[in-house]
């Protein structure tokens, strides 16, 4: 049996900006990333606050932000 992640729900939670209520993956970054990558999305922490709150976590939305902000 794998040991529980020592960062889950503690250190990770301090950096989690996700506003989606009740998600069981908050603070468990490996599960969050796996879940969103499977949907061609990125986690909440890849987006600024205003975009994060739209719950559009798509690769396309991320690419729009990158292109809009330039090099
Ligand atoms: S980004 Fe998605 S998977 Fe991660 S905590 Fe928020 S709702 Fe859950």
CB 43 within 8 A of CB 36: yes
Ligand 1 centroid – CA 44 distance (Å)? 6
Strand-pair partners of 41: 58
pLDDT of residue 1: 64
Three-state DSSP class for 63? helix
The model carries a pTM of: 0.86
Give the residue whose CA is nearest to atom 4 of ligand 1.
Answer: 32
Residues of the chain with pLDDT under 50: none
Ligand 1 close to Cβ of residue 44 (< 6 A)? yes
Ligand 1 close to Cβ of residue 32 (< 6 A)? yes
Q: How far apart are CA 58 and CA 19, in angstroms?
A: 16
CB 43 within 8 A of CB 32: yes
Q: How far apart are CA 32 and CA 50, in angstroms?
A: 20
Q: How many residues does the chain have?
A: 71
């Amino acid at each position: 049996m794998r040991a529980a992640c020592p960062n889950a729900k503690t250190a990770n939670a301090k950096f989690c900006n996700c506003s989606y209520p009740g998600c069981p993956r908050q603070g468990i970054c490996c599960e969050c990333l796996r879940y969103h990558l499977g949907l061609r999305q990125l986690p909440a922490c890849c987006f600024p606050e205003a975009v994060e709150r739209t719950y559009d976590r798509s690769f396309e939305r991320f690419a729009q932000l990158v292109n809009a902000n330039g090099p």
